Structure 1
Amino acid sequence: MPPVTRATPHWVVVGSGFGGSVAALRLVEKGYDVTVVEAGRRFEDHDFARSAWHLPRYLWAPRLGWRGITRITTTRHVSIVSGVGVGGGSLAYANVLYRADPHVLAHPRWRGLADWAAELAPHYAEAERLLGATPYRAAEPGGPDDPGDLLLQDLGRDLGVEHTYRKASVGVFLGTPGRTVPDPLLDGAGPPRTGCTRCGDCLLGCRVGAKNTLVKNYLHLAEHRGAFIRPDTEVVGLRPRGAEDGGDGYLVTVRARRRWGRLGRAEAIEADGVVLAGGVLGTTRLLATARAAGDLPRLSERVGHEVRTNGEFVPGVLLPRAVAHGLTERVAITSSIHPTPDTHVETLGYGAHADYMSTGLTLLTTGGRRRALAWLGTIARHPWRFAQTLVPFGQSRRQLMLLVMGTGGGALRLRPGRRGGLVSELDPDDPLPSTSAAAEDAARRVAARTGGIAESPLLDAVAGIGLTAHPLGGAVIGASPAEGVVDADQRVFGYRNLLVCDGSVVPVNLGTNPSLTITALAERAMSRVPAAQRSPGRADGVPVPLAGGPGQDRS
């Protein structure tokens, strides 16, 4: 194939979530041509579902013609909730932006590769600035806490850790409720913003325009600097264009999504460098499939290993109506406590229009090998409580979820299955736990205090299939290909100009919401990519080797 002439080298970013958006902005700032490929559609604020019952705009199931913002992927051991669309997980996440605790950044699994706390500090600060991180506050100055906050404070007192209670750092423009003003967060370079109305519908996509999604900061700035975003396009293949190590660039095979979710013909995008940012599932699937097909034979055998759930369990409590009054007048998550240094608990509200989510909940059942029998036994002992969980209408106004995360816990392995899916296997050396005593205890305590009904996800109660919205790992950072898939700068071992910038690089459970850490890690990785070079003596220029570039001289 003849060389491709361009004025500047061209990078393709696969995915537009927290890592991909950072990559798009920073690469275009360095003088590269950038194309962002996103599987989902582009959403304006008014495009989001008004109710979770509006499945085509809420859920991602393209074969059914549903092209919403939330994808639910279920394997044998875990159900994973992830975001889809231009802006990735920022469209559907619960707005929380916490830094990882220093002891997590000093975990032995990656401690020797960098002084993560010191090196990430300036990148955390920059990510907080662009994402508009701010401590949550009530709509009225000095206004009362909502019922979820009050119950979390009570739980903290019961556990003797009330001193750990704090307001969440959220990526929301709080402003004056409902009032639209010129960009208040990016020195006038961003779009107009509307103050949060505390409607609680954050997980459905913010129709108000208050959520600081990536389309209002990183992606907005990247597009205005020349980055091109290609939505509705699946990346189905990746291989070097010439040299086996990617030194001559890559061919990124894509298929555009047509009407009713069908994929069109395959076409190849030529790139001098590639950033993989499709999330744990997307990046792991693409790398594992490319390795199995012989397209990326130098890839580490660790692809798909050390996939973690962030130590996450999500029980809930169906509160009595009197206790739940005002529960939805907030953002999704407003505060947290630490029952232990390694355990983090937040209250999560679904909002008033998310009754559909209640269909996936049932009576909390203590874990065990025969979970289905235990669940049936629980129903037999509490038939009236069970009956109350069967009618979802109006329940999201009363549903208080407890998002429990921990730094401990095991891992999974993901490998390609039939028909392009992923198959999970328990890590034999570090298996994923099927239950959490801390999560069950928290739910039962809140239920006992309020007279509510303790609940858990249905698949967890019946089959031990847990739920996480914060998967990590699969292409983890390591000291060598024997320990990981990427180096400390997130460059893929064995390849030049190939990086991974999403949660799949994180080798440990962070024990708190990972979005800010993923963003900071991507900022750090992009800071190490040199600026674009133009070939001297030619007007059009040609791609030139990026000295010291990503993955160079890696074996």
Structure 2
Amino acid sequence: MNAATGFDEDVVIVGSGFGGSVAALRLAEKGYRVRVYEAGRRFADEDFAKTSWNLRRYLWAPALGCYGVQRIHRLPHVMILAGAGVGGGSLNYANTLYEPGPGFFADPQWEGLADWAGELAPHYATAKRMLGVVERYPHRGPVERIMAGAAEDLGVGDTFRHAPVGVWFGRPGERTADPFFGGEGPERTGCTLCGNCMVGCRVGAKNTLVKNYLALAERRGVAIEPLRTVTEVRELAGGGFAVTTRRTDGRLRRGERTVTAERVVLAAGTWGTQQLLHRMKRSGALPAVSDALGRLTRTNSEALDGAVATAVPESLGLARGVAITTSFHVDDRTHVENVRYGPGSNLMGALATVLVPGELPLARRFGRVVRLVLRSPARQLRLASLRRWSERGIIALVMQTADNSLTLSLRRRFGRLRLTSEQGHGEPNPSHLPEAHRAAEAIAARMAVEGGVPAEARGSWPEVFGIPLTAHFLGGATISASPADGVVDAYHRVWGHPGLSVVDGAAVPANPGVNPSLTITALAERALSHWPMAGAADGRPSQQQLLDR
């Protein structure tokens, strides 16, 4: 306990993803005593699953004894892919680090609060340096040719580009001293293009947060506790917070513990942060949280479709490379990226099925699947086979800047309080994207030409049932001008609880239309740059001053 403040810690951070890792390092540099709680486990490079079939190391399902990196959540309107473990989503994301276009910064939810493009520009630069961004994926192979060709066939060849990625390429498989932070960071190994970035990089080439922000934070004394799930954040009558955790893996004993902290940073990912805020508002632990909580929850207007060949086109080597390498724009608001898994990581292929028009009623969508299977059962069996799926296909990750959203709330189901969703502000959250279908068909056509093997555009089973997939779940505790409009102020402080901050994807106010990791990192860098040095006066305006402007 700090005798001067009476608290166990200066700051407790909930979560160790892109927002939490930035907070950990920058607050340690400013002299704060920091403790990070992470629900997931800590992974060394060799601890990651070799393929996605190693469920205990790949999937996150603690009730089943699985403590891997891949979380899957379901709401009535979307299925969500997220990350778990020390390093959060950086462990299983696709290393893809785009900046959004100007429309993102001009969204009405926040445009009048700051010159966001101008203010964030230096923080994007810092985030790129810290995450080791290579501005253009440096290799060109068959998949990159297929994507370039698909863009040309769609009449948008001028939008094709190689993706910016956070990977140490170096000499393939060769271990070297830290190349990013003057030797202060961990040793690294050059990328071998194995394709398993999203299962967990066993090589040590992927620039996960464990290799940069968190490594540097721990060197400065930050304590990171893995396998601790935060169950309550309660504001204390005299100021500060009590944070209660339990062992994530505790089956016989909950192992509950409570520490006090002067300030708390929520960075548990959009799902975790929203769930915690909803529960604490309902229980009275954080009674002043805005009623706007849950509004403007975004899915990045996303779909996951793709193309699969009936046999392995051996000459193409579709599984060789990093997870995402290229992209193009179908139109002004629709961004398409190729995605791959490495050889043997075929589990996600179980989500794929026939591509069917999403505007049809459910019964007709399902009937279309049945008819296509009955019309050509042998072909559909070959397409649906998981054998060497990652070597036969290209996933198309499609994102939009469309202004659509969901509103999340808690509802009691089967005796437990669970998050649920309804359509929110703007356009309805899409159950399918016609633009994604066009892209998938163009990719399939080019794949067949390049590989000499019949290929077909594919959708997903959730999409058949009107539930899109997203890997980029955002918002719900958004930046706003007042508590009537959102949950946090322009400095990421929770309205009504200014000692509590939200510094993760939950604060993002709009669909960026690109992978959001770089933007979450830049927003976190900006937020933490405004924190005072430990023990110094806080130069930020109070929330009342913000409201009086």
Instruction: Confirm or deny that 1:388 pairs with 2:382.
Output: yes
Of the three residues 461, 465, 468, the one matched with 1:458 is: 461
- Deviation per CA, 1:492-538: give whole Å up to 9, x if none: 1111221101111111100000000000000000001101117xxxx
Letter in 2 for 1:305: R
Deviation of the 1:314 alpha carbon: 0.8
Of the three residues 167, 170, 176, the one matched with 1:181 is: 176
What residue in structure 1 maps to residue 356 of structure 2?
365
SS at match of 2:256: strand
Deviation of the 1:390 alpha carbon: 3.3
Of the three residues 474, 479, 482, the one matched with 2:481 is: 479
Deviation of the 1:323 alpha carbon: 7.1
What residue in structure 1 maps to residue 307 of structure 2?
317
> Residues 298 and 330 from structure 1, CA distance in 2 versus in 1: closer, same or farther, beyond 3 angstroms?
same
Instruction: Confirm or deny that 1:445 pairs with 2:479.
Output: no
> Residues 376 and 263 from structure 1, CA distance in 2 versus in 1: closer, same or farther, beyond 3 angstroms?
farther
Deviation of the 1:239 alpha carbon: 1.2
Count of residue pairs brought into register by the alignment: 534
Query: TM-score, normalization: structure 1?
Result: 0.92
Deviation of the 1:409 alpha carbon: 4.5
Equivalent-residue separation in structure 2 for 1:257 and 1:403 (angstroms): 32
Say if 2:298 and 2:474, in contact at 8 Å, map to a contact too.
yes
Equivalent-residue separation in structure 2 for 1:435 and 1:547 (angstroms): 46
What residue in structure 1 maps to residue 336 of structure 2?
345
SS at match of 2:318: coil
Equivalent-residue separation in structure 1 for 2:202 and 2:498 (angstroms): 41
Name the stretch that deviates more: 326-335 or 13-22: 326-335
Instruction: Confirm or deny that 1:490 pairs with 2:480.
Output: no
> Residues 546 and 111 from structure 1, CA distance in 2 versus in 1: closer, same or farther, beyond 3 angstroms?
closer
Equivalent-residue separation in structure 2 for 1:453 and 1:123 (angstroms): 42
Identity of matched residues, %: 47
Instruction: Confirm or deny that 1:296 pairs with 2:276.
Output: no
What residue in structure 2 maps to residue 251 of structure 1?
242
Say if 1:496 and 1:552, in contact at 8 Å, map to a contact too.
no
Name the stretch that deviates more: 415-424 or 209-218: 415-424
- Where does the alignment leave 5 or more consecutive residues of structure 2 unmatched? 449-453
Letter in 2 for 1:202: C
SS at match of 2:81: strand
Equivalent-residue separation in structure 2 for 1:254 and 1:295 (angstroms): 14
Say if 2:306 and 2:443, in contact at 8 Å, map to a contact too.
no
Equivalent-residue separation in structure 2 for 1:484 and 1:393 (angstroms): 47
Letter in 1 for 2:376: P
Letter in 2 for 1:66: C
What residue in structure 1 maps to residue 325 of structure 2?
334
Of the three residues 137, 145, 168, the one matched with 2:163 is: 168
Say if 2:330 and 2:439, in contact at 8 Å, map to a contact too.
no
Of the three residues 257, 266, 270, the one matched with 1:276 is: 266
Deviation of the 1:214 alpha carbon: 0.3
Name the stretch that deviates more: 263-272 or 307-316: 263-272
Say if 2:8 and 2:260, in contact at 8 Å, map to a contact too.
no
Of the three residues 409, 426, 432, the one matched with 1:415 is: 409
Equivalent-residue separation in structure 1 for 2:164 and 2:252 (angstroms): 40
RMSD of aligned C-alpha atoms? 2.1
Deviation of the 1:198 alpha carbon: 0.2
Of the three residues 136, 140, 147, the one matched with 2:142 is: 147
Equivalent-residue separation in structure 2 for 1:184 and 1:263 (angstroms): 43
What residue in structure 1 maps to residue 18 of structure 2?
18
SS at match of 2:146: helix
- Deviation per CA, 1:452-493: give whole Å up to 9, x if none: 1211121111x1111000011110111111111011111111
What residue in structure 2 maps to residue 537 of structure 1?
none
Say if 1:8 and 1:532, in contact at 8 Å, map to a contact too.
no
The within-5 A match list for 1:56-205 is 56-138=56-138, 145-205=140-200
Letter in 2 for 1:96: T
Name the stretch that deviates more: 296-305 or 219-228: 296-305
Equivalent-residue separation in structure 1 for 2:170 and 2:7 (angstroms): 43
- Deviation per CA, 1:251-295: give whole Å up to 9, x if none: 111112235x66614321101001000111000001111111111
Letter in 2 for 1:112: G
What residue in structure 1 maps to residue 502 of structure 2?
500
- Deviation per CA, 1:40-82: give whole Å up to 9, x if none: 0000000000111110100000000100001000111111010
SS at match of 2:292: coil
The within-5 A match list for 1:32-43 is 32-43=32-43
What residue in structure 2 maps to residue 525 of structure 1?
527
Letter in 1 for 2:236: R
What residue in structure 2 maps to residue 426 of structure 1?
423
What residue in structure 1 maps to residue 222 of structure 2?
227
